[in-house]
Amino acid sequence: MTGRLTVIGLGPGDPRWLTPAASEALAAATDLVGYGPYVDRVPHRQGLVRHVSDNRVELDRARHALDLAGEGRAVAVVSGGDPGIFAMAAAVFEALEEARPAWAGIDIRVEPGITAVLAAAARLGAPLGGDFAVLSLSDNLKPWDVVVRRLEAALAADFVVALYNPISKARPWQLGEALKLAARHRSPDAPVSFARAVGRPDEVLRVLPLAEAIAAAASADMATLVLIGASATRAIGGPDGRRFLYTPRSVGRMP
Ligand SMILES: C[S@@+](CC[C@H](N)C(=O)[O-])C[C@H]1O[C@@H](n2cnc3c(N)ncnc32)[C@H](O)[C@@H]1O
């Protein structure tokens, strides 16, 4: 019997941000595989077997999901946000390179989800109206000098820069260093947003001038998405007095 493995993006938190296609894929699953907090976001139902694993065991989790699908099960591997962005879809394909005979014929699919940077941008206004770059600040899977080189290039090219995985207990100083690097390419009043737990009940959005953001770096956590504005990104007042962050679509004198 041929099994199926679908890697599903649950979105950043608000259940209304789950796509109908992702909902259908969850409804069709016999087995749910994922990191505990993501599995917890899927309602219980009869016949759905839950396989919870710890953080940072992505390859083992992917192999386990493939083994289940190899037995003919309909497996849903769940990720927060989009499963292709710093998440489980790449781990599944990495495991698939082992090409184990038991996995032959498995039907693999990926269902997209709303990634954190899109959710944060929508809350803030339109900070991604121009070109932007997305980086993970984690040096768990790549050396810190690679992070710095890529960040420096994105800042020098005047992209809006979104930083996933900005800080953790094991990586307490990297965000401060990244923002100090930004200060070499942006003015002290360039807007920096700390968007925390977007779409969840504990959501908090802050926009600070870069100079203040450097001092506030330690207040970010693993549920925070950091957005560093490009030189043209600015805050404007809306008709109801709220402030919005946006980046103009054009650069220079374009109409
Ligand atoms: C391992 S990455 C996973 C990203 C996820 N696959 C996505 O597409 O959003 C985890 C990082 O995503 C960001 N993130 C995930 N959910 C978020 C949310 N609801 N609000 C703000 N940032 C979030 C944070 O930067 C966090 O450290």
68 alpha carbon to ligand 1 midpoint, in Å?
27
> Tens digit of pLDDT per residue, the chain (255 long)?
789 999 999 999 999 999 999 999 999 999 999 999 999 999 999 999 999 998 889 999 999 999 999 999 999 999 999 999 999 999 999 999 999 999 999 999 999 999 999 999 999 999 999 999 999 999 999 999 999 999 999 999 999 999 999 999 999 999 999 999 999 999 999 999 999 999 999 999 999 999 999 999 999 999 999 999 999 999 999 999 999 999 999 998 766
Count of all residues that appear for the chain in the document: 255
The residue whose two tokens read 């690097």 is 181
211 alpha carbon to ligand 1 midpoint, in Å?
24
| pTM of the entire predicted model | 0.96
Q: Which residue has its alpha carbon closest to ligand 1 atom 12?
A: 164
Residues 190 and 158: beta-carbon distance below 8 Å: no
Q: Is the CB of 193 under 6 A from ligand 1?
A: no
Q: At what angle do helices 144-156 and 174-182 cross, to 10 degrees?
A: 30
The span from the CA of 42 to the CA of 11, in Å, is 12
